[in-house]
Amino acid sequence: MRSLRDLKIPDFKFPKMKMEGIEDIGEVHVDYEKVEKEKNKKKNTKNYPETNYQTIKEIFLESTTKYADKEFVLEKPDHKTPFQEHTYQEFRENVFSFGTGLEEYLNLKNERIAIIGETTYEWYVSYISLLCGSGIAVPVDKELPVNELINVLERSRAGAVIYTAKKKEEIKKIKDSVPFVKYFIEMYSDEELNGRDIGFETIREKGKELVEQGNQNYINIEIDPEEFKLLIFTSGTTSSSKGVKICNRNLASNINAVNPYVKVYPEDRFFSVLPLHHTYESTIGFLLPLAKGSSVAVCEGLKYIVPNMQEAKPTCMLAVPLLVENLYKKINATIEKSGKAGLVNSMIHITNALKTVGVDIKKKVFKEIYDNLGGNMRIIVSAAAPIDANVGKWVQDIGIMFLQGYGLTETAPIAALTPDFDPRVGSAGKAVVGDELKIHNPNENGEGEVWIKGKTVMLGYYEDEEATKDVMHDGWFNSGDIGYMDKDGFLYITGRSKNVIVTQNGKNIYPEEIELMLGKIEEIAECMVYGKEVEGEKELTISVKVIPNYEKIEEKHGAGLSEDEIRSIIWEEIKKVNKQLTSYKAIKNLEIKKDEFEKTTTMKIKRFAEIKKDKEKQGK
């Protein structure tokens, strides 16, 4: 996984799509008897059966027994080698061996252990070994600069660090600054214990020997569902990073919460493209497939997303809006070049009409799109930020279930989800089973802060009682997000309370709402709306920082344009958006940004950091 802190989606490409055969709808056989039966069927609106897991160890033991011979994790040792499979049985044995090695050979009982690096099979083994053992797992953002990495290790008082080979140089740089770290454990290394250095494989082999000799101490550890087991430092999009304390009940409740809304099968294969230190990927992209007997294929990095999908043939993918929007743009760009964009749009309308009467031919009609996504894709889930509903609808239109989730690190992470039997594109979903949502102090439009209560809500912030008190109110967690709920209980997120721009006459402006509208402008690659302080003015100036889409500008307006001409083109498009906004929300100032936005690992712009840069430039 490439850097997501300063993310620029790499220019991955889809092969040119000819959309051949799309005209041949007449060849499709329609079973009219089946159509009549389907018309009389009532649409499923009931939840699927619930589960009642208490701990991740319970899930781990059940699945690795039930699906022992089935493939679990697929990864590529290098770009040229095909995906290599690790079975559930192999995973079980590796966890027992590595966990025993950590606790019995290295005597790391009850320690906080950091995991840092790209997604690998041994990252998964490390994580589950800690959740099923006596210590506390501390997943760390692999893109942290050295000073921040030292800070995380100091704050968590880590007894050991498990890392990938790509992080070796950073580990060398920090060793002298973290004398309290007892061991540095390199994945895929068989280095014998040398001072504080040791290889992952050495620990696993030592643990395996102990298990074979009858040592069951690690295997027999009983997990308290309420015990603090996971420490995750937030990305800090609006403030400095906080440590979130998570227990097994939080994680198991996430699995229990998703099961009633989405059908996941042992035959499903998840495609892992997001960083594992984030709960969205580690819980829903890893623990959920573990619980369902599904498999997980690890993407080598975003620039390899297309060939990796075509090789792994996944059925499910967790994504963030920026990635889904880029897939949408790339695929449609190739369709436009084929000259069949109009025909594809017509076929979307025809296949939608047929689907309403029980005839689903989307996979046949849009086969070329499916093949480019591996051929089996059936679910794409978007979370972490709002997405243009038109993009989500397009995913549904080509026959892939598009779901949206909502939550935070503090809910480990899912608090709301759109059911697959009622996806409601544009909504962030309904409260998951076991949680409640409410809008606190709604305004005249029903908008207010989103509060969450239930089993997925964290234990609290690590060593920060004041911060915990600020967000917890009689069991309700204040998410800091702004939204409203419809009559059916579906949540719609409109902004962050800390991002809100308040006018002099008390009007609230949520930047995310305007950014979604600006995001439809083809000449804009990325943008950030904010309230700019102007000397001598009491009112903040509604401003937007824009990274131009130079490729699209050249395609539409010609090459060799000056910066002033590019700015003028973008400003004319912004003025069109302004006409759709009430006057106090209209963009008054445009800034062309030449460097990348600073981002979190879930591709959200760090607004506070960007605004801070703006103030520093003005000498404030």
Q: What is the DSSP string of 433-463?
A: TTEEEEEES--TTS-EEEEEEETTS-SEETT
How far, in Å, CA of 591 to CA of 133, rounded? 52
What residue ranges define each of the domains in the chain, with the CATH number in brackets? 24-41+268-496 (3.40.50.12780), 56-222 (3.40.50.12780), 501-617 (3.30.300.30)
* Strand 524-532 versus strand 508-509 pairing type: unpaired
pLDDT of residue 3: 29
- Tell me what the pLDDT averaged over the chain comes to: 90
Q: Is 231 in contact with 156 (CB distance < 8 Å)?
A: yes
Q: What average pLDDT score do residues 553-571 get?
A: 95
Q: Is 446 in contact with 484 (CB distance < 8 Å)?
A: yes
Q: CA torsion sign, 170 to 171 to 172 to 174?
A: positive
HSE of 599, CA atoms in CB hemisphere, 13 A: 21
* Cis ω before 179 (30° cut-off from 0): no
Q: Check residue 57 and give left, alpha or beta (phi > 0: left; psi -120 to 50: alpha).
A: alpha
Beta-bridged to residue 116, according to DSSP, are 140, 163
Q: Is 138 in contact with 243 (CB distance < 8 Å)?
A: no
HSE of 254, CA atoms in CB hemisphere, 13 A: 33
pLDDT of residue 237: 44
What number of other Cβ atoms are within 10 A of residue 469's Cβ? Answer: 11
577-598 pLDDT per residue, tens:
999 888 889 999 999 999 999 8
HSE of 126, CA atoms in CB hemisphere, 13 A: 32
Residue 331 pLDDT exceeds 80: yes
pTM listed for this prediction: 0.83
Q: Which parts of 353-422 are beta strand (E)?
A: 379-382, 401-407, 414-417
Quick one: which of 176, 67, 66, 160 has its CA closest to 109? Answer: 160
How far, in Å, CA of 382 to CA of 393, rounded? 12
Q: Is 396 in contact with 423 (CB distance < 8 Å)?
A: yes
How far, in Å, CA of 583 to CA of 135, rounded? 56
DSSP 194: B
Residue 538 pLDDT exceeds 80: no
Q: Where are the alpha helices (DSSP H) in 168-224?
A: 168-174, 200-212
Quick one: which of 518, 458, 523, 470 has its CA closest to 498? Answer: 470
Higher-confidence residue of 94 and 508: namely 94
Higher-confidence residue of 11 and 248: namely 248
Residue 346 pLDDT exceeds 60: yes
How far, in Å, CA of 194 to CA of 174, rounded? 17
- Predicted confidence band of residue 619 (pLDDT cuts 50, 70, 90): low
Residues 6+ apart with CB under 8 A from 551: none
Residue 40 pLDDT exceeds 80: no
Q: Where are the alpha helices (DSSP H) in 7-145?
A: 32-40, 56-66, 88-100, 121-131
Residue 23 pLDDT exceeds 90: no
Percent of the chain scored above 90 by pLDDT? Answer: 71
Q: Which helix (H) or strand (E) holds 614?
A: helix 607-617
Q: Check residue 90 and give left, alpha or beta (phi > 0: left; psi -120 to 50: alpha).
A: alpha
Quick one: which of 137, 140, 162, 160 has its CA closest to 151? Answer: 140
DSSP 105: I
Residue 7 pLDDT exceeds 60: no
Residue type, 276: L
pLDDT of residue 59: 98
* Strand 476-485 versus strand 448-454 pairing type: antiparallel
- Predicted confidence band of residue 333 (pLDDT cuts 50, 70, 90): confident
How far, in Å, CA of 443 to CA of 271, rounded? 40
How far, in Å, CA of 304 to CA of 314, rounded? 14
Q: Please give the full DSSP string across 257-307, using - where no structure is assigned.
A: HHTTT----TT-EEEE-S-TTSHIIIIIIIIHHHHHT-EEEEPS-GGGHHH
Beta-bridged to residue 244, according to DSSP, are 232, 461
**What is the end-to-end Cα distance of the chain in Å, rounded?**
37
Residue 336 pLDDT exceeds 70: yes
412: burial class by Cβ within 10 Å (0-12, 13-18, 19+)?
buried
pLDDT of residue 258: 95
495: burial class by Cβ within 10 Å (0-12, 13-18, 19+)?
buried
- Predicted confidence band of residue 613 (pLDDT cuts 50, 70, 90): confident
144-193 pLDDT per residue, tens:
889 889 999 999 999 999 999 999 999 999 999 999 999 999 999 999 99
Beta-bridged to residue 485, according to DSSP, are 491
Residue with tokens 């009430």: 582
C-alpha dist (Å) from residue 497 to 26, 440, 511, 597, 614: 53, 12, 10, 21, 20
pLDDT of residue 1: 22
pLDDT of residue 583: 84
Higher-confidence residue of 508 and 4: namely 508
Q: Is 136 in contact with 459 (CB distance < 8 Å)?
A: no
Q: Please give the full DSSP string across 311-338, using - where no structure is assigned.
A: HH--SEEEE-HHHHHHHHHHHHHHHHHH
Residue 385 pLDDT exceeds 90: no
* Cis ω before 413 (30° cut-off from 0): yes
DSSP 509: E
Residue 12 pLDDT exceeds 60: yes
Residues 6+ apart with CB under 8 A from 505: none
DSSP 136: E
pLDDT of residue 603: 77
Indicate the SS3 state at residue 485: strand
How far, in Å, CA of 529 to CA of 519, rounded? 11
